[in-house]
Amino acid sequence: MLSIKGLSFGYQKQRPQLSQINLTIEQGDILGLLGPNGAGKTTLVSLIAGLLHPHEGTITYAGELARAGRRDLALVPQEYAFYPRLSGRENLNYFAGIAGLSGRKRSERVAEIITECGLDALADQRAERYSGGFKRRLNFAIALLQQPRLLILDEPTANVDPQSRAFLLEIVRRLNRDGVTIIYTSHLLEEVESLCRSVAVMDGGKIVLRGSMNELLAAQQNSLIIQVARPLPAVVAAWPGVQQGSKNKDEWLFDLHQLQASSADVLTRLEQAGVTPVRIQLGQRRLEEVFLASTERELRK
């Protein structure tokens, strides 16, 4: 289990990037860590990996303080973390040596990970000649050499082709099925929604939303979303539980619980108010709506 308590950090102490972060991740979970640019996601994962040290608070994993070089923890960074003038195989042999593997054990593990990450055809080519998707695969492969139990992925599918993205996501799912705990940061919210079981949203260096994927998406299951061609009458917009869409201003969400009405009742009342929806959606929200709503609330504070 990963436990973060009272974590604060700033590259300049008077200007903290992270403030009083508290976060617990259970063993075997796959957490989507979300946030707009500058929210502090990369700083947080660097702290968890032991690459930075907190000014306040603690980070512990499996009962030990976070530190660089732990064999049971690996980070796949946003930037490519290999030597471009070396081949894929040479890179893997080098990093396997750093991880403490040697001799036959090293060569067997390198061969295994080359196949696992689909690098067989390119293993002996210089990494600088790889496409973006295969560079991402090599980044992945280096992190998996040490068979970590906690794997941190920072934008691991950025700028890759659909085939490589699908390949990498299947590796993530398989690792998680095998019991690896995963922290996954991405701006691709559909990807996070399909992959992760829990979510933490960061904004302004703080955790502004935390919960299981099912809980967050079901929070508005008793809702009606309509799209209108003309502005909603002010009297309707003032109903309790009515909220304008955060991305599409022509969309409006009606909370059936707050309105104490069924969807049919609300549609009848809208018709009586002269509102004719051009699109109607009943039920569960998408992760993008949850994310935008939580970060907009933080902006309004």
Each residue of 181-240: pLDDT tens digit? 999 999 888 889 889 999 999 998 999 999 988 887 765 557 788 899 888 999 999 999
Token output for 281:
């959606």
pLDDT at 223: 78
Q: Which residues contact 201 (CB under 8 A, 6 or more apart)?
A: 34, 35, 207, 208, 209, 210, 290, 291, 294, 295
Token output for 173:
């799912």
Domain with CATH 3.30.70 in the chain: 220-284
pTM for the complete prediction? 0.78
CATH topology of domain 2-216: Rossmann fold (3.40.50)
Mean confidence (pLDDT) of the chain: 88
**pLDDT > 50? residue 300:** no
**How many Å from the N-terminal Cα to the C-terminal Cα in the chain?**
33
Domain 220-284, CATH among 2.60.40, 3.40.50, 1.10.10, 3.30.70: 3.30.70
pLDDT at 150: 95
Domain with CATH 3.40.50.300 in the chain: 2-216
Which segment of 51-60, 238-247, 290-299 scores lowest on mean pLDDT? 290-299
Q: Determine what percent of the chain is predicted with pLDDT higher than 70.
A: 94
Reported confidence tier of residue 13, pLDDT bands at 50, 70, 90: low
